[in-house]
Structure 1
Amino acid sequence: MHRRLVTAAVVLLALPVTVLLAFHRSVPNVAGFGSVLDTAAPLLLLAVPVLILGAVVARTPTAVVAALVPLLVWGMLFGRAWLPKGDPGATQLRVASQNVNAANPDPAATADAVAATDADVVALVEVAEGLREPTAGTMAAHYAHHVRVSTVELWSRYPIVDYAPVDTALGWERALRAVVDTPEGEVAVYAVHLGSARPGVTATRDRSLRALADAVAADRAERLVVLGDLNTAVTDRVIAPLRDLVRDAQADAGRGPGATWPATLPVIRPDQIFYRGLVATASTVVRTPETDHRAVVAGFRFG
């Protein structure tokens, strides 16, 4: 009787986990719920150890199968992120992005850690007014070129020959597009902080994401990189209009999902590095002090 009850419990838990994994994108995106479910879907893997423990206790074939099916589905959907990948060629351009956090008590320490990644181009977002001076004091020691639009900044070792704000439909400017003149040629770089998203409240983020996708679609640059906090995971259905236009550095050259938030124990990746016209050679996440986001770093070569 005990084993039958445990088997039934394993099956009853495995069934909704498997269904949510397999069909999370079919759930209507009412009040942003589908978007939240898309973002959280990879975390359903956390149910698998519980299921396996139940199967060990039950010691029945039914419980074992029930425990393994969601693991198989998860692997088919998200397992590719853990496979070795990346281009073996030498890195010719390294970029980084960091959400500094408007409440950062020591932005200079955060900036110093980002500069230590040896990135050639760095996007900093959420650099509130009181953080600008200490941040600049650190970054200017490593980067000769700098532009800013509101709370978004771009720092570069190479000349920035042009820049302009990018309208992301927020009612105020929180993104920029710059042209960086690297030794290998010009690259258009977007530094972006999209609208915030909360469970049930995603309309502002969704609107700003569509506006960014429109800007990238209209961009004629041969080489292009999008850096910043997009408040959107790549598993979220609403990112599709942008993802159809660019490649994901973490997917192409990283290992694992590359989660960045919250910094102490990251479970999702709202901080992104997207690109086109280049070849990704590396992608990683770096723990930086005094902020609630980890930094993302990627390397590229010119094809």
Structure 2
Amino acid sequence: MRNDDQTTMRRTGQAARRRTARRLVGVNVVIAVIIACGWIPGPIGTAVSVILPLLGVVSIAVALAIFIIFRRAAIPASAAVLLWLVAIAPALPAFPGTPTATPLTIASQNVRAQSGGGEGSATDILSHHPDLITLTELDDSSREAANRVFAAKYPYSYGVGTVGIWSMNPLVAEEPLDLGLGWKRALHVTVQTPGGDTSVYLIHAASLRPGAQTARDDMLAALAATVRDDPSPQVIALGDFNAATTDPALRFLGAELDLVRPNIGTTGFSWPAALPLVKIDHVFQRGFDVGSASTMRAGESDHLATLTTLSRR
């Protein structure tokens, strides 16, 4: 083959690689725009928050492909990856904390109404011996099952609507909360722990469906306002928020309390239990240091349970 033929083929190949790289850069530009839309409150931001982990996988894969095909385009291609890292940062795992002599361990789960798995969830959670247990999406049978399982070790309990709390320590100032929903899917109690009183809010936020998320957003905003007016130095808010970690609807609550991030090598994703893809079961706190935070299977629910250890500052 003549040198000019080889040169032509080489130039043709380079041109083809450049065209492919440009197309892939275009894909990452689109991904970057979608990621940026995650900061928009309302349905758009919510939708992006749900698929944000997937967007990261795709943007990284595309950036690597561009680097292999045409390295000169790798820098612009990395913009989407960097933007994704900024967006996903609040959901990334944290470093393990230092345990203390008097930790407060809390287990929480959506037990899935009508699943018949309330007893299984309660039994599995009990095996971890938490100080405080909260359950959401309770129906009559699962509430009765939980009461039977917890009766011996958790003498203090309070429930309203579809949510309930069981404690080894006394509960006072119990009150139901509707948070603007019109019926009770949340509660507030003060737990008298050995280190002092802790104000605890348990919520099962309104379900999120296409075209119908106002009720959820209003509940989360009302919870944030309620927490803001709570003078207690130690506050915990937890439950099923029906909102991914990066959902704009959680920003108001995040301004009042610190989100507890997973810190023992897990993603913290809690739903669906069979293949967790998103974290919608959260713990927020004020006045504590986080010792450990993880998820675990419990019963037949479609949600993983959260297990969190906190210590007073």
TM-score after normalising by structure 2: 0.86
- Cα RMSD between the aligned structures? 2.3
1:219 partner SS = coil
- Does the CA-based 8 Å contact 1:82-1:256 persist in structure 2? no
* Residue matched to 1:161: 172
Quick one: distance in 1 between partners of 2:254 and 2:41? 20
User: Is 1:287 matched with 2:297?
Assistant: yes
- Does the CA-based 8 Å contact 2:93-2:267 persist in structure 1? no
The structure 2 residue matched to 1:37, chosen from 40, 45, 48, is: 48
Quick one: distance in 2 between partners of 1:101 and 1:80? 27
- Does the CA-based 8 Å contact 1:81-1:256 persist in structure 2? no
TM-superposition CA deviations, 1:202-254 (whole Å, max 9, x none): 10101111221222122222211112111122311122221111111116x56
The structure 1 residue matched to 2:31, chosen from 17, 24, 30, is: 17
Closer/same/farther in 2, CA of residues 168 and 80 from structure 1, 3 Å limit: closer
Quick one: distance in 1 between partners of 2:129 and 2:41? 43
Please report how far the alpha carbon of residue 104 of structure 1 lies from its aligned counterpart in structure 2 after TM superposition. 1.5
Aligned length: 298
Consecutive unaligned residues of structure 2, counting only runs of 5 or more, are 1-14
User: Is 1:241 matched with 2:291?
Assistant: no
Closer/same/farther in 2, CA of residues 255 and 169 from structure 1, 3 Å limit: farther
Structure 1 stretch 33-42 or stretch 74-83: which is displaced more? 74-83
What amino acid is aligned across from residue 264 of structure 1 in structure 2? A
Matches within 5 A, 1:48-197: 48=59, 50-52=61-63, 54-55=65-66, 59-65=69-75, 67-79=77-89, 81-82=91-92, 84-90=94-100, 92-197=103-208
Quick one: distance in 2 between partners of 1:47 and 1:299? 34
Quick one: distance in 2 between partners of 1:10 and 1:160? 58
Q: Percent identity?
A: 30
- Does the CA-based 8 Å contact 2:91-2:246 persist in structure 1? no
Quick one: distance in 2 between partners of 1:116 and 1:3? 58
Quick one: distance in 2 between partners of 1:185 and 1:288? 30
- Does the CA-based 8 Å contact 1:101-1:126 persist in structure 2? yes
TM-superposition CA deviations, 1:112-168 (whole Å, max 9, x none): 112223211011000112322222222224322211111110011111133111131
What amino acid is aligned across from residue 146 of structure 2 in structure 1? T
Structure 1 stretch 201-210 or stretch 43-52: which is displaced more? 43-52
TM-superposition CA deviations, 1:62-93 (whole Å, max 9, x none): 45445533223323332575465243141510
What amino acid is aligned across from residue 148 of structure 2 in structure 1? G
Please report how far the alpha carbon of residue 255 of structure 1 lies from its aligned counterpart in structure 2 after TM superposition. 5.1
1:35 partner SS = helix
* Higher CA-based Rg: 2
Quick one: distance in 1 between partners of 2:204 and 2:198? 19
- Does the CA-based 8 Å contact 1:188-1:224 persist in structure 2? yes
The structure 2 residue matched to 1:208, chosen from 189, 212, 219, is: 219
Quick one: distance in 1 between partners of 2:23 and 2:122? 50
